[in-house]
Amino acid sequence: MKKIKLILARELYTTVCRKSYLLTLILVPLIPYLLISGMDQLKNRADIPSLSEIIMPTNEQEIHGFVDPGGYIREVPEAWGNVLLPYADETAASAALQQDTIQGYYLISADYIESGKVIFVRSDYNPLAGMDQSQDLEETLVYNLLGGDADLTGRVFSPLQLEKTYLNAAPQRESDSSLTFFIPYAVVMLFYITIFGSASLLLSSVATEKQNRTIEILMTSVTPLEMLTGKIIALGIAGLIQTVFWTGCGVLIMKMSGGIFNFSEAFQIPPSLIAWGGVFFLLGYAMYGALMAGIGALVPNLRESGSATMVVVIPLVIPLMFINALAEEPSGIVSTVLSLFPLTAPVTMMGRLSAVVVPLWQILLSIGGQVLAAWFLIRAAAGLFHGQILLSGQSLNLKKFVRALFGKF
C-alpha cells in the first residue's frame, strides 16, 4: 500500500502541475464564461441586436394584395388590415405590384372551397421572402369561412393549451422541446471527452515511461499491479478534478445565462445527476484507463498508439452513433441495452439520467457490471507489465492486444 501511495503522489503531482493540464482546466469554462459575460453586458444596449436577431434577423412585414373572384373574403381581420389589401382584379393587383405599392399578391381560385388553390405572385425570385407571411391570407380565409367569428378563428389556430403533469418527482424532458435532444447530447459529449481525455493521460504516461526506460526502473521495486493501481488512481483523481470543476463552472454559467437565454426549469441540472456523474466517470475511467495502459505497455512508442487507441474507444463512441435514439427514446431498448453493457454504460447511462428518471435497479445493475469489468481489465492490464512485453519493441495489432489481455503472449 505504501508503494501505491508513493506512485499515486508522484503521478498526481506530475500531472496537475503540467501547463497543458492547467490551461485546459481553466480555458474550457473560461471561454463560455467570457462569451456569456459579453452578451450580458451588451443585451441592454439598444443599438446592438440580440443573439436571436443576429442568428435569425427579423424582416419587416411585407404588404400583400389579394384578388378574390369567388367573394370568399368579405372582411379582413383588423390584425391584417394594413398588410393585406383587396383588389378588384388581377390587372389592378399587377399594377400595384409594378408601382411597389405591394410586394406580392394572392390569386384565390373561384372554386377555392373545392380545390383550395391559391397562387402567390411576386416580382422577384425569392422562395423564402414573403412566404412566411401566408398566415395573413390563411387566417383571413378561415375568419370569413367561419362567419367572422374571431374567437372561433383563434381556437382553430390554437386548438388546445396543453398542461403536462408528471408523476415522477424528478422533471422529465418534454418530447416536443429542443432540450430533449440538446441536454442528453451535451451530457454524452461531456462524458465522452472527459473519460477519453483522462484515459489518454494514462496511455501517455505509460508509453513515455516505457520509451525513456523509467518504467523498467519502477518494475524493479514495485509489482505491476501496484504500479498500475497507483497510476490509475492518481490520473483518475486528476480527471475527476477536471470533471467536477467543469461541471461546477457549467452550473454557474447556466444560472448566470438564464436571464439571457430564458432557460426553462426543465433545463436545470438536478444535484442527483452530478452525484451519479462522479460514479460513472470513475468507473468509465477505470475501464478505459486500464485499456489505455495496456496499449501503452504494448506499443514501442507513443506515435504508434493511434490506431490501437481508436479500436479500444469504439465502444465509447457507439452512444454518439445512437444519440438520436438516446434523446428521443431514453427508455427504449437500444438506450437500455447500451446503458447496461459495461463498455458503453458510462456515457449512455449519463445521457439517460439527463433525460428521464431511470429505474434504480438498472442504475445498480449498470454499476455492478462496470465494477466487474474494471476489476478484470485492471488485472489483465497489470499482467502486460513484464519484461517479455515491455522490452519486445514489436508493433501492436488488435489480435496481439486481445491475446495479451487474456494472458496469451
Give me the residues paired with residue 104 across strands: 64
pLDDT for res 13: 85
In sequence order, which residues have a C-beta less than 8 Å from that of residue 155 and are 6 or more positions away? Answer: none
d(CA 32, CA 253) in angstroms, rounded, equals 8
Cα–Cα–Cα angle for 215, 217, 221, rounded to 5 degrees: 110
pLDDT for res 398: 56
DSSP letter at 80?
G
Read off the C-alpha cell for 282. 470513475
pLDDT for res 127: 55
* Cβ neighbours around 141 below 10 Å, total: 20
Asked whether the beta carbons of 14 and 26 are under 8 A apart, the reply is no
Residue corresponding to grid cell 459495461 = 342
pLDDT for res 241: 85
Q: Give the CB-side neighbour count of residue 66, counting CA atoms within 13 A.
A: 27
Give the residues of the chain that fall short of pLDDT 50: 46, 50-58, 130, 170-171, 174-177, 387-388, 391, 409
Task: Give the burial class of 284: count Cβ atoms within 10 A of its Cβ; 0-12 exposed, 13-18 middle, 19 or more buried.
Answer: buried
Helices (H), 82-124: 90-98, 112-115
* pLDDT tens-digit map of 99-108: 989 988 999 9
pLDDT for res 52: 46
In sequence order, which residues have a C-beta less than 8 Å from that of residue 331 and are 6 or more positions away? Answer: 352, 356, 358
Pair type for strands 118-121 and 84-87? unpaired
d(CA 328, CA 355) in angstroms, rounded, equals 9
The amino acid occupying position 167 is L
Q: Which helix (H) or strand (E) holds 75?
A: none
Read off the C-alpha cell for 256. 448566470
Judge if pTM exceeds 0.75.
no
